[in-house]
Amino acid sequence: MMNTPLILTQMIERVEKFFPNKQVISRTSTGVQRFTYKEFGERTRRLASVLTKFGITRGDKVGTIAWNHHRHLEAYFAIPCIGAVLHTINIRLSPQQIAYIINHAGDKILLIDEDLLPIVENCKDELKNVEAFIIMTDRPELPETSLSPVYHYEDLLSEGDALFTFVKDIDENDPAGMCYTSATTGLPKGVLYSHRGIVLHSFALGLADGGSVSEKDTAMPIVPMFHVNAWGLPFACVWFGSNLVLPGPNFTPKILLELMVSEKVTISAGVPTIWIGVLKELENENYDLSHVRYLLCGGSAAPKGIIKMFEKKYNIPFMHAYGMTETTPLALISRLKSEHDELPEEDIYELKAKQGILVPGLEMKVIGQNGEVKWDGIEMGELCLRGPWIASSYYNDDRSEETFKDGWLHTGDVVTVDKSGFVKIVDRTKDLIKSGGEWISSVDIENALMAHEAVFEAAVVAIPHEKWQERPVACVVLKDQYKDKIIEDELYEFLKPQFAKWWLPDKILFMNEIPKTSVGKFLKRALRDQVKELLNV
């Protein structure tokens, strides 16, 4: 067979040739703009030529600080297609973290959205390698900024070469992109995405049994393009010629729904928070979403109730997916199997609330206390993944060894696998409670508690125990109207029928709030310290 490489240039060349009239619909601060893929191709080639003129070459890192819009999409292809590395910077990190990752990656140029300039201005004095700041704006003039030297994206493009030839002899194992993931301790860790990894991941997104992304689709990634390549949708959609709707900055559920209606979106992807917001807006107003083939949900687990609401009340298929920065990200997808066809409705939703089945192209194993776990939906173990779109290390980072062992990515997620191969996350390894040699899932107890009408939120952590090593303690925030009206005993009575006796928390503490990370996840480390202090253990 020919040794033609799996590289991104093929994707853009395919869309230019075969789907020149399909569209990128881009919502920016000034309104909705439309570009055909022919125009997209020309603008991307212009940008590639401009970057080349700036001296960007093989292996150089170019950072983006941007929302989901057409210019960001141009950067997604222009940078890798000259052999350089697209570094998508998570705008939600702290200024120190942002300065750290820009320096750690060694970004030579930053492409920055006008309204995100303060993020860079706040840390500009710490930046070591950045030689130019290119501002992405719809306005003809450059905004006021303390950054220097600054350039106007559109001015540069107008001088670029619309017929620029992409670099052809890229090695498929060369990095095309990179993204940093926030660590539980310490500074963010970088993951490099190879051309090969992205192409194969795009194949998975196009599989009938994967994302089934097709030319007939109009896809709207709501998940940010600064977050694991917007789950790979920009690459797959360009390759397959799907229309792409990029919802830009400061969107609301209403704006998203209006875009979905006006553009006849067939696929959209986002985290549970987004879908909960969309669901609320659907309660307020009527939207015709009959064209939606599915909504993809990842990042964290969507409650079963949300899935049911979308599917039963609004007739919109809803699909869980699982992945992480280290997995490009698609690894699992909750696409039901033919053996599930005849299941009763409750069992269907039980399955749909799981993270799903492994996508073709990857391998998984789940390592419990005694080696690989039984596929019984009960035994718990850490999910380990392997495959050509799974990272093999963090970029220049000593912490790689903790996560990448024996050729496998150890995800840190504790899961069960049922007999049909469906994976369900039950905890993070670090949050799992090890009591008397057995594992207790903090997440299961939390979910049970949060199903009580009085409970606003609940987090369960381990405290040290002389005999059992660790024991669970639950921290509960009550809804305002129930404050001081519920006692520990009532919650115990509620939990008892649902769990083995030894799973029940040793103590239920009532709190005013539970400490959280910047993205709204429980900060269990801090909570554990707080609980230990309170209980004096």
**Beta carbon of residue 185, minimum distance to its own copies (angstroms, whole number):** 25
**Beta carbon of residue 350, minimum distance to its own copies (angstroms, whole number):** 18
Token duo for residue 524: 């269990």
472-531 positions binding its own copies, by CB under 8 A: none
Answer yes or no whether residue 66 interacts with its own copies by CB under 8 A: no
**Residue 190: closest CA among 402, 389, 330, 397:** 397
Instruction: Tell me whether strands 408-417 and 381-386 are parallel, antiparallel or unpaired.
Output: antiparallel
Answer yes or no whether residue 165 interacts with its own copies by CB under 8 A: no
Per the residue annotation, which of 13, 181, 264, 375 is the catalytic one? 181
* Only segment of 110-118, 181-189, 332-340, 509-517 that touches its own copies (CB under 8 A): 332-340
**Beta carbon of residue 291, minimum distance to its own copies (angstroms, whole number):** 12
Going along 436-512, which residue ranges are E strands? 438-440, 455-465, 469-478, 507-510
Answer yes or no whether residue 296 interacts with its own copies by CB under 8 A: no
Answer yes or no whether residue 214 interacts with its own copies by CB under 8 A: yes
Complex with its own copies: residue 34 or 139, whichever CB lies closer: 34
Complex with its own copies: residue 22 or 428, whichever CB lies closer: 22
**Residue 194: closest CA among 40, 50, 395:** 395
232-251 positions binding its own copies, by CB under 8 A: 239-241
Q: Judged by CB under 8 A, how many residues of this single chain contact its own copies? A: 55
Question: Tokens 């909504």 correspond to what residue?
Answer: 295
**Beta carbon of residue 187, minimum distance to its own copies (angstroms, whole number):** 22
| DSSP calls for 327-340 | GSS--EE-PPPGGG
Would you tell me how many other CB atoms lie within 10 Å of the CB of residue 148? 8
Complex with its own copies: residue 236 or 282, whichever CB lies closer: 236
Cis preceding linkage at 515, omega within 30: no
Annotation says 22 is catalytic = no
Answer yes or no whether residue 59 interacts with its own copies by CB under 8 A: no
* Only segment of 253-261, 360-368, 424-432, 475-483 that touches its own copies (CB under 8 A): 360-368
Sheet holding 189-194, edge to edge: 150-152, 132-136, 107-113, 61-65, 85-88, 175-181, 189-194
**Beta carbon of residue 336, minimum distance to its own copies (angstroms, whole number):** 9
Contact between 79 and 86 under an 8 Å Cβ cutoff? The reply is yes
**Beta carbon of residue 375, minimum distance to its own copies (angstroms, whole number):** 8
Annotation says 181 is catalytic = yes
Would you tell me how many other CB atoms lie within 10 Å of the CB of residue 79? 29
| DSSP calls for 99-148 | HHHHHHHTEEEEEEEGGGHHHHHTTGGG-SS--EEEEE-SSSSPPP-S-S
Task: Give the CA count within 13 Å in the CB-facing half-sphere of 425.
Answer: 24
183-212 positions binding its own copies, by CB under 8 A: 192-194, 196-197, 200, 203-204, 206-210, 212
Report how far residue 77's alpha carbon sits from residue 10's, in angstroms, rounded to the nearest whole number: 11
Per the residue annotation, which of 439, 446, 503, 524 is the catalytic one? 439
Alpha helices in 23-171 (DSSP H): 37-53, 70-78, 95-105, 117-121, 153-159
**Beta carbon of residue 394, minimum distance to its own copies (angstroms, whole number):** 12
Answer yes or no whether residue 392 interacts with its own copies by CB under 8 A: yes
Task: List contacts with its own copies (CB under 8 A).
Answer: 1-4, 6, 10, 13-14, 17-19, 21-22, 173, 192-194, 196-197, 200, 203-204, 206-210, 212-216, 239-241, 328, 337-339, 357-358, 360-361, 363, 386-392, 407, 409, 420-421
Q: Which residues are identified as catalytic?
A: 181, 326, 434, 439
